[in-house]
Chain A
Amino acid sequence: MSGVLAFQLYNWHFFFQQLVGGVTAGSLYALIALGYTMVYGVLKLLNFAHGDVYMVGVYIGWFVLNALGSPTDPVLPLVPLLLVAFAASMLGCGVLGVAIERFAYRPLRNAPRIAPLITAIGISFFLEQTAVLLWGANPREYNAFSLHNGELFGFVNVGNFGIEYVQLFVIVATVVLMIGLSLFVWRTRTGKAMRAISFDREAASMMGIDVDFVIAVTFLIGSALAGAAGVMTGLISPTGSLNPYMGFGAGLKAFTAAVVGGIGNIVGAVLGGLFIGIVETFTVAYFSSQFSDLILFSLLVIFMLIRSTGFRGTAVLQKV
């Protein structure tokens, strides 16, 4: 095995391929992490169900692609087809996120901390099993390769190396969404309100901020981003990798990405996501695909123990 490792270390092509793959996967983690970090920043709630909202996004995209013809024989050309899939997924997930907040988390705003966490886990179970009911537990795929003769998977050449269109698309889309979100949080009134609520919810409500509305918007945006990430995941995933339980692991890693980057911090969440995506891809490529989760989680445990305020987080002073 070490011989193979040695060969791979010197194979730059392979390295670049993995790097791009890692950045792509990391971008998806980043998008999901943004939802976690925003909700945690505003509500101090670990939204366990967020990973499953992402999973629903994956399935909505699948549904759209199969409703408008089929992957091998779609009714629309590529770009409109993808637009419809994204719109449906982002809208659907956004509404789902808002509904979850409205019905499950809002009554628990002043309950002990454990209550919303347990509820979130309950919702996670609920979403997973509903997905099993509706779409079956068998693994599925988008079969995106068939879409318009694999147009998505054509290569853009960078010197000697190539990036697939779809990978480029994912990376660019993530950057655009991150910039958009940053602008929203730092420049708009609602964004300011979000930040105010994250510091002191009661005081914010006394300053005339409609807390319920702003929190709903937070969930809407976070879930919509997860929906977008879902569709993109479907596009790049190989056969048989989409199943109702995929949200759990992805959600776990994405939340850690949010912590690694500093909870409540948007750029940090993206950096954290990229970090985890790259580490994961390289671990699979160079060490072992079976134990990649084990290695990754071990690294994350160590990281969280050493630096639980993350890359760009701020330590919270407690008045004694």
Chain B
Amino acid sequence: MSTETPPPAPGSAKPATSPQIGADEWVQRSGERTTGPGGLFGYASRTAGRTPAFVLLLVFVGVACAIPLLTSNGYVIGVDADTMLYVLLAMGLNVAVGWAGLLDLGYIAFYGFAAYLYAELSSGHYDIHWPTWQSVPLVIAATILLGFVLGSPSLRLSGDYLAIVTLFFLEIFNNFTTNGYAWNWLGLGATHDITGGPTGITNVDPFRIFGRVLDNRPTDYVWVAAAGFTVIAVLFHYVNRSRTGRAWRALRDDPLAAEMMGMPVKWLMLLAFAVGAGVAGFAGAMNGAYYQGVFPDTFTFPLLITIYAMVVLGGVGSLGGVVLGAVVINVLLEVLRTPDHARWIFYAALLIGVLVKVRPWRLLAAVLGGLVVFGVVVNQIVGETWARGVAGPIAVGPTSFTKNGFFATLIRHWQVLPGNTYEANDYRIGNYAFVVAIVLVLACTVVKGWKRWTLLVPTIWVAAFAWENVLIEQAPTTRPLFLGVVLIVLMAARPAGLFGQNRVEIV
């Protein structure tokens, strides 16, 4: 006799938006199976789901390796190499945070430790020049060992406390590398220059493999990173499907139950840290060789958050997801450096956001139309009353501006660009507009109905105003700002990320 509650009629149920305990998911989601997420994204994700993993791997590595062959633009190849480094780091962080569910806010300390160790062994700092085939394995092994050590607090602490302690480790590491040029042991003995201080260690040797010195930067390191990535991706793919991978996932769900079911939880936690550290070890050594120098302000908290953003965006726990997340975030961050290209992102994001959120068609048309009209009207009014107000150019490069070009003309008639702001470094109007834009955005989330759509128009306009007049110019500020916004919006809209699973947690 059936003991389940009668399932809802197939197809009549709306696809569940969040997992529910006791609800037969297979039946509930039958509707979804016939009508999944539509459009391009749905097609892409279903195809990706059906493709065997090694094909995806080949495609990815193929693209990464093809770039240096297709272009001779050093900048682009550099971005390729950097992205591969980030991909490695994201995969490594994913082990502890995504698979085992251990909050590690000190991961970058492994990365930095490896880089510095490599630098110590293969540079002019102590004038030791170990060959690559000796230094890299040693660096990786040492970092794994460090992973066991720094992972040991996880045996006693959990959750937020573990996060704080690991963050302390990162801060300790930072302090040490920045001030490590005058280290003496408790005031006794001689002073040693261990880390080179704020200026770091330069003249680090590049890799030397099979007699060949890899000093064709960045191209050579794209190959190195791609090779490393292939190996690590394969190993991780298999481990995820093995008993250790299952044990990590069990430990994430319920450590006590896992222990009771025969899984050595303490060892598994240390192992998670150590494996992630191993990946960071390889990445760190590569970092040292690639940049031919190591510097303390590379391995800091903001870098950690960048990696976290990648992992979280891609989907915590999903190997393919974090790779994708790394690519997306790094590429976006790079594009944000140049105003001309960054502009595309802003308006594209705006457009996509409006397209997705504002339905039906008529409302969408009204909002967009209203937006254009609003902008032009304001532009005209300001133009009449305050000539300087519309006299400014738009930014297209770090220090270059223009009034010409298709895009520039469009914007100049739609937006208000006060002259003498960029030129005189006077961003006050833009700054205040930025704050106003934030307030308006928050207000939009609060009001409902027609008020929201009417409010949306000036909100978008003011945001674009702030963008054109301030943010687009200030890359060092806008990039972390962008990261922060990504994190906030992502957690509010889709905590599982692009490819993560919606999880059930018993709190």
Contact = CB atoms under 8 A, between A and B. Distances in A.
Interface of A: 1-2, 5, 40, 44, 46, 99, 103-104, 107-108, 110-119, 121-126, 128-130, 132-134, 248-249, 252, 255-256, 259, 287, 290-291, 293-294, 297-298, 300-301, 304-305, 308, 320
B255 to A, nearest CB: 11
Contacts of B301: 248
A40 B97 CA distance: 22
Contacts of A297: 168, 171-172, 175
A316 B16 CA distance: 35
Contacts of B103: 114, 117
A129 B171 CA distance: 21
A149 B435 CA distance: 36
Given A114-B316, A291-B175, 9 more contacts: A40-B160, A103-B445, A107-B492, A108-B495, A121-B308, A129-B477, A133-B431, A249-B171, A291-B176
B79 interface: no
Nearest to B171: A297
Q: Is the interface of A mostly helix, strand, loop or mixed?
A: helix
Interface residues of B, number: 56
B484 A126 contact: yes
A291 B172 CA distance: 9
A46 to B, nearest CB: 4
B477 A103 contact: no
Contacts of B165: 301, 304-305
7 contacts: A104-B492, A111-B491, A112-B495, A126-B484, A129-B484, A133-B470, A252-B171
Contact of B480 (A99, A128, A249, A293): A128
A123 B507 CA distance: 24
Contacts of A130: 434-435, 438, 481
Contact of B491 (A40, A116, A294, A320): A116
Contacts of A116: 491
A125 B481 contact: yes
Contacts of B445: 103
B179 A291 contact: yes
Contacts, number: 141
A99 B442 contact: yes
B156 A308 contact: yes
Given A112-B495, A117-B103, A129-B480, A122 B488 contact: yes
A126 B470 contact: no
Given A123-B488, A291-B179, A304-B164, A118 B156 contact: no
B487 A259 contact: no
A134 B438 CA distance: 13
B303 interface: no
A46 B505 contact: no
Given A122-B488, A133-B434, A308 B157 contact: yes
A39 to B, nearest CB: 12
A167 B435 CA distance: 35
Interface string B455-495: 00000000000000010001001101101111110111001
A219 to B, nearest CB: 15
A130 B478 CA distance: 9
Nearest to B169: A301
A304 B161 contact: yes
Nearest to A255: B164
Contact of B495 (A104, A115, A121): A115
A298 B174 CA distance: 13
Contacts of A121: 305, 308, 484, 487
Contact of B160 (A110, A117, A122): A117
A123 B480 CA distance: 11
Contacts of A118: 308, 312, 487, 490-491
A114 B252 CA distance: 12
A128 B480 CA distance: 9
A134 B164 contact: no
Contacts of B316: 114
A301 B445 CA distance: 41
B8 interface: no
A129 B160 contact: no
B350 to A, nearest CB: 18
Contact of B435 (A103, A129, A134): A134
A122 B485 contact: yes
Nearest to A320: B256
Contact of B161 (A111, A248, A298, A308): A308
A167 B20 CA distance: 55
B159 interface: yes
Contacts of B256: 320
Nearest to B187: A1
A150 B316 CA distance: 55
B496 to A, nearest CB: 9
Interface in B165-212: 165, 167-169, 171-172, 175-176, 179, 182, 184, 187-188
